[in-house]
Homo-oligomer: A and B are copies of this chain.
Amino acid sequence: MKILAICSGGMDSTTMVYDAASKKNREVGMVTFDYGQRHKIELEYANRTAQRLNCPHYVIELPIGSFLKGSALTDRSVKVPEVDYSNESLAVTVVPNRNAMMLSVACAIAAANGYEKVYAGMHGGDHAVYPDCRPEFVDAFDKAMVLACGVHVTAPYVSLTKMDIAGIGARLNVPYEDTYSCYNGREQHCGICSTCRERIRAIEGVGLVDPTEYEQH
């Protein structure tokens, strides 16, 4: 089976790529979006995974930042939250319909290149604040995509926590030094934004030695 995995370069989607590639009879491709995110440095990390696993890697420009303002992820005038990953802290990072836009493009690329499924790395911790990370959205979108272009959409980690995912990564020896999580997008992880905090908690929580260099920890 040919699977096209949306990989941001973060922990969750990178683990998903390694996980898919570790199974028999899977041919895995990767797609990464350059959508105007301030943490664009994550693209280089996704590329490391593609190189290591020797996967086809589609890097797609989707200039969401140019037509949607007001999210801390794409608009530099909005401050990235520096508290624990929670519903309030994440609210400013919502990019409306981000996953639907990315999934539609990923399905188009899949259809044009003979992939049967698109994998997306949403997890349980995202449900409350990001409606397009919920299982009912993934199911509805899967139905629409099968009708539109014959490609299935699956989110294998949609019911897992980030700690569960780190557990899978630990088992598969995913090199987390090849992943990037910080919403601030500087060379080193800041260590204090909501996603850095969540990263630290998950990696330490499963007993891994954290290979990440943080500005503050």
Q: Which residues of A approach B to under 8 Å, CB–CB?
A: 58, 60-64, 66-70, 95-101, 103-105, 107-109, 111-112, 131-132, 134, 136-137, 140-141, 143-145, 147-151
This protein's copies in its complex: 2
| CB-based nearest B residue for A147 | B137
Q: Is the CB of B144 within 8 A of A148?
A: no
Q: Can you offer 17 A-B residue contacts whose CB atoms are under 8 A?
A: A60-B67, A61-B66, A67-B108, A96-B107, A96-B111, A97-B107, A97-B111, A100-B107, A100-B148, A101-B105, A103-B104, A131-B148, A131-B149, A137-B148, A140-B140, A140-B144, A140-B147
State the main secondary structure of chain A at its contact with B.
Answer: helix
- Which has the most chain B C-beta neighbours within 10 Å: A66, A96, A98? A96
A158 to chain B, nearest CB (A): 13
Tell me whether A112 and B143 are in contact (CB under 8 A). no
How far apart are the CA atoms of A100 and B103 in the complex, in Å?
A: 9
Q: Is A99's CB under 8 angstroms from B148's CB?
A: yes
Q: Check A104/B108 contact, CB under 8 A, given A67-B58, A140-B147, A144-B137.
A: no
Assess the B137–A97 pair: CB atoms within 8 A: no
Q: Residue on B with the closest CB to A145?
A: B100
Contact check, B109 vs A104: say whether CB atoms are below 8 A apart. Answer: no
A175 to B: closest C-beta gap in Å: 28
Nearest CB in chain B to that of A111: its residue = B96
**A132 CB contacts on chain B under 8 angstroms:** 147-149
User: A105 contacts which chain B residues (CB < 8 A)?
Assistant: 67, 97, 101
